């Protein structure tokens, strides 16, 4: 019960901020600018007088820790198993190094590894951002225009079914060994889920809401900004989460084909030298990039669409 | 913003409206040759069995559905596309689920580019009037069905439209709140001189609010009869309910709706 009301309060506060920022934008000094916080909040308090407690930093930390301990446990078991297998040399160490060896490589070569990680991170983020922007524009074009729908959709689909890995060498031939082909590859891979989710989201607007907008005399831009786009956000965020993890793949594959820096390049080196600890360290860093970026998109999602059913913390009895 | 409409002419004119919906599986005639003229300042209530085309009729007036044949005019101008001199209350509340109640009401102002401060003041008045105080920030899923409808009502009233089209606006309210909202709406109508068309399933509501009650037949929807309501312009809920004229009209309506359904 306490948990529940707590969550409602948090969600509501977030929702208010979001809607306040994007929509009502109360003018400072206008009579209503204050009423949200002070007088009406008192009226709003439930009759039993229990004002929902604020979400303090401590409570946030507790929630965070609560969401973390289960995966942490699984990871710990995995590490223990890995360590056991490697230390006992059930598998030779040049194939599976011990966690200690990996840790040592990680620390001794840290400055080098950090540099390569930054390169891959840069390619991934840039690729992802470009894919998100291009994907969104394409989705809008497809959702709004029947002609563009017919013209673009097959091409988008065609571009998707070409194995990206197969065109990586071509990109290197065209754009050289620099960062460009990696970024392009990341864009190409991450683009598709953004388009698909964007189109699905934009098309899912309740026709009644569009009718409503029409009776308000609103033009297409206002309708897009205030109704269709926010309505599409839940879909779009799901697509972005897929896209961000794929962008890492794109960047690394680009580095495989021809590069002088980046985690993909290091992986090839380590492989060639049969340097298993370095290989493992490299893999860990790659996954770390994916996980961190994914979490960032999750956080963006929580901030943007706290109102959506998928983000409501309220306990539902139907779990199916 | 509400200018008392000129006493002459029609606020809404419909003549020979026929609507046929063709879907992949079937063809439905929703409305069949409906003609109705509504004068400025009138309060017309429409009753009729479910599926007879009442919602469709309102949407035609709003320019959201194109009739298969026939003509519509709103405020003396032919209706060719969506109309914006109206406030529309949809049968479903049609709220934006990411906005709180107050922000949902203010959508009207934002979409029309109305003056912010003025709209905000008006919104607060309406919130108070409809008993939504304390729920300004509540998201639609945190509101009851009746509260959602009240939010939709406030939104439709925000810009003081000269014509108000309402599709079962009080359907999800409990009896008591419904009476209160009826009284409120009656007061608003009296004070503003707005032309109102209201669809309802409640005979009591139709008679209490209307200056004219239009009865429609089962699908394909036709107007069977229109009854002028001979009650004073200024009505009090309790008084009207005990008025013999109310009883007589309500009985007539019930009889007509019952026989129409039986003949079908
Ligand atoms: N967009 C549409 N496509 C196909 N058929 C439709 C469409 N809109 C309405 N209809 C049909 O038209 C008829 C009238 O519908 P309408 O919604 O106007 O009824 P109603 O009188 O408002 O009913 P209720 O009282 O249940 O709300 C129904 O048979 C419905 O199936
Ligand atoms: Mg209806």
- The shortest CB-CB distance from A32 to any of B83, B120, B142 is to B120
Domain membership of residue A39 as a residue range = 2-44
The predicted structure's pLDDT at residue B130: 86
| Residues contacting B94, CB < 8 A, separation 6+ | A206, A208, A209, A211, A212, B152
Q: Which has the higher per-residue pLDDT, A316 or A71?
A: A71
Residues of B in contact with A310 (CB under 8 A): none
Ligand with minimal distance to A208 CA: 1
Please determine, for residue A168, whether its predicted confidence score (pLDDT) is greater than 70: yes
Say if residue A172 is in the same domain as residue A210.
yes
The predicted structure's pLDDT at residue A316: 53
- Chain A residue at shortest CA distance from B113: A218
Residue B107 to residue A307, Cβ atoms within 8 A: no
The predicted structure's pLDDT at residue A5: 43
Residue A320 domain flag: no
Residue B194 domain flag: yes
Number of domains in chain B: 2
Q: Which of B181, B4, B20, B26 is nearest to B89 (CA)?
A: B181
Peptide bond into A90 cis (omega under 30): no
Q: Tokens for B38?
A: 């509504």
Confidence class for position A120, pLDDT limits 50, 70, 90 = very high
Please determine, for residue A50, whether its predicted confidence score (pLDDT) is greater than 60: no
pLDDT digits (tens, 9 = 90+) for B151-194: 999 999 999 999 999 999 988 788 888 888 898 889 889 888 89
Atom of ligand 1 nearest to the CA of B56: 18
The predicted structure's pLDDT at residue A53: 56
Residues of A in contact with B125 (CB under 8 A): none
Residues of A in contact with B135 (CB under 8 A): 44
DSSP secondary structure string, B218-231?
A: SSSB-EEEEEE--S
The predicted structure's pLDDT at residue B5: 46
Residue B137 to residue A305, Cβ atoms within 8 A: no
| 3-state class percentages of chain A: helix first, strand second, coil last, to nearest 5 | 80, 0, 20
The predicted structure's pLDDT at residue B192: 86
Looking at CA atoms only, how far is residue B212 from chain A in angstroms? 25
Look up the ipTM and state it: 0.87
Residue A55 domain flag: no
Say if residue A170 is in the same domain as residue A278.
yes
The predicted structure's pLDDT at residue A12: 45
Residue A222 to residue B111, Cβ atoms within 8 A: yes
Q: Residue A132: how many CA atoms within 13 Å on its side-chain side? A: 19
Instruction: For residues B99-110, give the mean pLDDT.
Output: 94
| Residues contacting B258, CB < 8 A, separation 6+ | none
Confidence class for position A311, pLDDT limits 50, 70, 90 = low
pLDDT digits (tens, 9 = 90+) for A216-247: 988 889 999 999 999 999 999 999 999 999 99
Which amino acid residue places its CA nearest to atom 25 of ligand 1?
A: B50
- Chain A residue at shortest CA distance from B103: A24
Residues of A in contact with B98 (CB under 8 A): 15, 18-19, 230, 305, 307-308
Instruction: For residues A112-131, give the mean pLDDT.
Output: 94
Domain membership of residue B39 as a residue range = 26-85+162-264
Say if residue B151 is in the same domain as residue B48.
no
Looking at CA atoms only, how far is residue A178 from chain B in angstroms? 44
Starting at the earlier edge strand, list the strands of the sheet with B27-38.
Answer: B27-38, B12-22, B69-74, B77-78
Which amino acid residue places its CA nearest to atom 11 of ligand 1?
A: B30
Say if residue B224 is in the same domain as residue B259.
yes
The pick from B19, B54, B88, B257 for probing ligand 1's pocket by mutation, whose C-beta has the most ligand atoms within 8 angstroms, reads B54
Ligand 2 centroid – CA B59 distance (Å): 10
Which single residue is written with the structure tokens 């065209």? A174
Say if residue B75 is in the same domain as residue B102.
no
Q: How far apart are CA A233 and CA A227, in angstroms?
A: 10
pLDDT digits (tens, 9 = 90+) for A170-211: 888 899 888 899 999 999 999 999 999 999 999 999 999 999
Residue A314 domain flag: no
Say if residue B220 is in the same domain as residue B112.
no
Angle at A183 between CA A179 and CA A189, to 5 degrees: 150
Residues of B in contact with A307 (CB under 8 A): 97-99, 139, 141
Q: What is the CATH number of the domain that holds B77?
A: 3.40.50.300
| Residues contacting B167, CB < 8 A, separation 6+ | B54, B55, B58, B88, B89, B90, B91, B199
DSSP secondary structure letter of residue A309:
G
Ligand 2 centroid – CA B52 distance (Å): 8
The predicted structure's pLDDT at residue A19: 43
How many A-B residue pairs are in contact by the CB < 8 A criterion?
117
Number of domains in chain A: 3
Instruction: For residues B28-37, give the mean pLDDT.
Output: 90
Residue B90 to residue A217, Cβ atoms within 8 A: no
Say if residue A75 is in the same domain as residue A166.
no
- Chain A residue at shortest CA distance from B65: A211
Please determine, for residue B150, whether its predicted confidence score (pLDDT) is greater than 80: yes
The predicted structure's pLDDT at residue B263: 60
Residue B141 to residue A309, Cβ atoms within 8 A: yes
Which of A10-24, B55-69, B141-155, B184-198 has the least mean pLDDT?
A10-24
Q: Write phi, then psi, for A176 (nearest 5 degrees).
A: 85, -170
Q: What is the rounded average pLDDT for all residues in chain B?
A: 88
Which of A13-27, A46-60, B64-78, B231-245 has the least mean pLDDT?
A13-27
The predicted structure's pLDDT at residue A285: 93
Give just the sign of the alpha carbon dihedral A39, A44, A49, A50.
Answer: negative
Q: Which of B125, B129, B155 is nearest to B140 (CA)?
A: B155
- Chain B residue at shortest CA distance from A40: B134
Per the CB < 8 A criterion, the answer to whether B224 and B198 are in contact is no
The predicted structure's pLDDT at residue A141: 93
Say if residue A158 is in the same domain as residue A300.
yes
Mean pLDDT: which of A20-29, A58-67, A113-122 is highest? A113-122
Any CB–CB contact under 8 A between A307 and chain B? yes
Confidence class for position A16, pLDDT limits 50, 70, 90 = very low
Ligand 1 centroid – CA B55 distance (Å): 7
Say if residue A182 is in the same domain as residue A229.
yes
Q: What does the buried/exposed string (b/e) look like for A22-40 if buried means 16 or more CB atoms within 10 Å of the residue's CB? A: bbbebeeeeebeebbeeeb
Say if residue B81 is in the same domain as residue B206.
yes
Residue A97 domain flag: no
At B28, is the secondary structure helix, strand, or coil?
strand
Mean pLDDT: which of A128-132, B88-92, B113-117, B129-133 is highest? A128-132
Which amino acid residue places its CA nearest to atom 24 of ligand 1?
A: B50
Q: Write phi, then psi, for A78 (nearest 5 degrees).
A: -60, -45
Q: Write phi, then psi, for A27 (nearest 5 degrees).
A: -70, 135
Looking at CA atoms only, how far is residue A262 from chain B in angstroms? 41
The pick from B22, B24, B50, B53 for probing ligand 1's pocket by mutation, whose C-beta has the most ligand atoms within 8 angstroms, reads B53
pLDDT digits (tens, 9 = 90+) for A133-160: 999 999 999 999 888 888 888 888 888 8
Say if residue B111 is in the same domain as residue B238.
no
Distance of CA A164 to the CA centre of its chain: 21
The predicted structure's pLDDT at residue A7: 44
Q: How far apart are CA B134 and CA B109, in angstroms?
A: 21
Residue A31 to residue B120, Cβ atoms within 8 A: yes
Residues of A in contact with B82 (CB under 8 A): 211, 214-215, 217
Residue B137 domain flag: yes
Residue B155 domain flag: yes
Confidence class for position A302, pLDDT limits 50, 70, 90 = confident
Q: Which residues surround ligand 2, an ion (CB under 5 A)?
A: B 55, 91
């Amino acid at each position: 019960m306490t948990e529940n009301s707590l969550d409602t309060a948090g969600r509501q506060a977030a929702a208010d901020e979001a809607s306040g920022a994007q929509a009502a934008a109360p003018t400072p000094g206008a009579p209503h600018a204050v009423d949200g916080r002070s007088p009406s909040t008192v009226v709003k308090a439930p009759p039993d007088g229990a004002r929902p407690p604020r979400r303090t930093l401590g409570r946030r930390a507790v929630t965070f820790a609560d969401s973390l301990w289960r995966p942490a446990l699984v990871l710990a078991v995995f590490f223990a198993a890995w360590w056991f297998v490697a230390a006992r040399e059930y598998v030779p160490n040049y194939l599976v190094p011990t966690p200690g060896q990996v840790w040592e490589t990680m620390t001794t070569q840290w400055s080098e590894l950090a540099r390569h990680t930054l390169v891959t991170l840069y390619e991934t983020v840039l690729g992802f951002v470009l894919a998100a922007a291009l994907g969104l524009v394409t989705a809008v074009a497809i959702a709004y225009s029947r002609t563009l729908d017919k013209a673009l959709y097959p091409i988008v689909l065609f571009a998707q079914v070409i194995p990206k890995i197969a065109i990586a060498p071509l990109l290197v031939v065209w754009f050289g060994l620099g960062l460009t082909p990696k970024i392009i590859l990341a864009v190409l891979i991450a683009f598709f889920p953004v388009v698909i989710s964007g189109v699905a989201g934009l098309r899912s607007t309740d026709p009644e809401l569009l009718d409503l907008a029409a009776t308000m005399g609103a033009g297409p831009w206002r309708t897009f900004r205030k109704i269709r786009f926010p309505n599409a956000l839940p879909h779009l965020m799901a697509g972005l989460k897929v896209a961000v993890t794929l962008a890492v793949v794109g960047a690394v594959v680009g580095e495989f084909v021809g590069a002088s820096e980046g985690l993909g390049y290091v992986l090839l080196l380590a492989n060639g030298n049969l340097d298993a600890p370095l290989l493992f360290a490299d893999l860990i860093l790659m996954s770390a990039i994916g996980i961190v970026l994914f979490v960032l998109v999750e956080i963006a999602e929580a901030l943007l669409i706290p109102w959506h059913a998928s983000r409501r913390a309220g306990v539902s009895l139907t779990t199916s | 913003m509400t200018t008392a409409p000129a006493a002459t002419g029609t606020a809404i004119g419909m003549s020979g409206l026929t609507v046929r919906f063709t879907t992949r599986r079937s063809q439905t005639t929703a409305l069949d040759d409906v003609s109705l003229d509504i004068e400025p300042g009138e309060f017309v209530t429409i009753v009729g069995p479910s599926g007879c085309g009442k919602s469709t009729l309102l949407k035609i007036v709003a320019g959201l559905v194109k009739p298969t044949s026939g003509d519509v005019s709103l405020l003396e101008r032919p209706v060719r596309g969506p109309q914006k001199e109206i406030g529309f209350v949809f049968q479903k509340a049609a709220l934006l689920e990411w906005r709180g109640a107050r922000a949902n009401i203010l959508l009207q102002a934002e979409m029309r580019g109305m003056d912010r401060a003025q709209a905000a003041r008006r919104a607060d008045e309406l919130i108070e009037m409809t008993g939504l105080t304390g729920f300004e920030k509540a998201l639609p899923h945190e509101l009851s069905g009746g509260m959602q409808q009240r939010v939709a009502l406030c939104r439709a009233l925000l810009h003081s439209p000269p014509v108000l089209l309402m599709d079962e606006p009080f359907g999800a309210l409990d009896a008591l709140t419904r009476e209160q909202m009826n009284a409120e709406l009656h007061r608003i109508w009296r004070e503003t001189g707005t032309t109102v068309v209201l669809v309802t399933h409640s005979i009591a509501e139709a008679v209490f609010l209307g200056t004219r009650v239009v009865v429609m037949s089962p699908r394909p929807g036709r107007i069977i009869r229109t009854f002028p309501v001979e009650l004073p312009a200024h009505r009090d809920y309790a008084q009207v309910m005990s008025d013999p004229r109310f009883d007589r009209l309500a009985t007539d309506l019930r009889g007509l709706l019952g026989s129409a359904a039986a003949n079908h």
